[in-house]
Amino acid sequence: MHALPLFNPTQSFHGSYDFPEPQYLGAKHKILPWILQYLPNDISTVLDGFGGSQSVAYALKQQGLAVHTNDLMQFCHMTGKALIENKSATLSKEDTSVLFAQNPLRQNQVQTLFQGIFFNQEDSVFLDTFRTNVDLLSCPYKKALALCVMNRSLTRKIIMGHFAHLQAIPYANNPDRIRRNPSIAKPIQSLFLEILPQYNAAIFDNGQDNISYQNDILTLLPTVSGIDLAYYDPPYCSSHADYQAFYHMLETYGERWEDKEFRGGTKRYYPPRHSGFDKKRDVELSFHRLFAASENIPHMLLSYNCRSYPDINSLIEIAKKYRHVIAYEKEYTQSRGGKGSVSGSKEYLLVCRK
């Protein structure tokens, strides 16, 4: 289905800043023009309720809108704080000297948990030192940017870009794999320095006071007001919805947990956070609660996928209890990573109005 574009970029469009391409399951950066055309013109403040890679929030920031972005995951929140909320702070050579300096007071969490699973000893020591040194930076946005760039370096370093497998070290020692993807054999410090300029160049002030939250969306919604449009891209239940399994290492690294259990071969933290959108037993009720909690927001856009539960017709019926709904679809012609974006699958966008 097609419709005439509803949204025209204004003079406040900040198109000279580029979002650093993420490696994140379900990221929407490849289909942003399709999503953005369904934004209404009469909006000034927007909420991205499931920020993820933050590519949609960044595109909204580029339009000069006031952006509130949220995610349950700490490492996604750090990207939001670094690229959406941050107006000007970048990492200088002096900052990287602080981050890379030897520190005898470093915590050894990576060495204890993840050495021999995802990293060799040299990289493990470097990661522990770096994480300890992040807290020596006085600016909260520099801290967020340091973690944001490190997280992206790690998804470059680890084969497949996630931490739900045990192939990282075997692949990093396989010459054939290295030829296809040289990043998996590079020291993490080299990857960080290679990626950092892209992130520094992406920092800009769009003239708004943007905010990044780390919260459950149903807990957050009663606390925010003045939102003209909410964009929701929840985990696609039955389609690689367990983001905590894929990115648990980044969460443990950022949060520096000491009160969790770490289970299984990949040392995933336990108990996990509860999203409400990754289990069949919960997801339909969660959608009802999401629509009900958004009753004061005039416009909603909801991304969904044909391989998800509940099916699109069932989701539309849920949405119709709260909103007028029009559904648009886009077929993936190339695989983008993740079960929901394989070639031939369909992405849906529910345009919902009161």
Looking at the DSSP assignment, which residues form a beta bridge with residue 329? 348
CA distance 301 to 349: 7
Copy the structure tokens of residue 315: 């989701």
Q: Tell me the torsion sign for CA atoms 33, 38, 42, 45.
A: negative
pLDDT, position 7: 54
pLDDT of residue 309: 95
- pTM of structure: 0.93
Query: What is the residue type of 204?
Result: F
Q: Provide the 10 A C-beta neighbour count for residue 42.
A: 10
- Look at the block and give the residue holding tokens 């856009």: 301
- Which residues 6+ apart lie within 8 Å of 336 measured at CB? 27, 30, 342
- Helical H runs in 17-120? 32-36, 55-62, 74-80, 93-100, 109-113
Rounded (10°) CA dihedral 54, 65, 70, 6: -80
Cα dihedral 255/257/263/264 (nearest 10): 40
- What CATH number has the domain spanning 29-353? 3.40.50.150
Task: Name the residue ranges covered by the structural domains of the chain.
Answer: 29-353
Q: Which residues contact 96 (CB under 8 A, 6 or more apart)?
A: 192, 193, 196
Among 113, 139, 138, residue whose Cα is nearest residue 127? 113
pLDDT at res. 1: 39
The token pair that represents 61 in the structure block? 């920031």
- Do residues 290 and 217 lie in contact, with contact meaning Cβ atoms separated by under 8 Å? yes
CA distance 266 to 296: 42
CA–CA separation, 36 and 62 (whole Å): 11
C-alpha–C-alpha distance, residues 37 and 5, integer Å:
5
Cα dihedral across residues 339, 341, 342, 344: positive or negative: positive
Give the pLDDT confidence score for residue 342 in this predicted structure.
Answer: 56
C-alpha torsion 91→93→99→101, nearest 10: -170
Q: What is residue 102's predicted lDDT score, i.e. its pLDDT?
A: 96
- Which amino acid is present at 185? A
pLDDT tens, residue order, the chain (354 aa): 344 445 554 445 687 899 999 999 999 999 999 999 999 999 999 999 999 999 999 999 999 999 999 999 999 999 999 999 999 999 999 999 999 999 999 999 999 999 999 999 999 999 999 999 999 999 999 999 999 999 999 999 999 999 999 999 999 999 999 999 999 999 999 999 999 999 999 999 999 999 999 999 999 999 999 999 999 999 999 888 899 999 999 999 999 998 999 999 999 999 999 999 999 999 999 999 999 999 999 999 999 999 999 999 999 999 999 999 999 999 977 544 544 455 568 999 999 998
With beta carbons less than 8 A apart as the criterion, state whether 83 and 58 touch.
yes
Residue 354: per-residue pLDDT: 87
DSSP string, 255-320: HT-SSSEEETTTTEEESPPP-SSSSHHHHHHHHHHHHHHTTT-SEEEEEEETTSSS-HHHHHHHHH
- List C-alpha distances in Å: 201 to 15, 16, 88, 272: 12, 10, 10, 34
- CA dist 105 and 129 (Å) reads 8
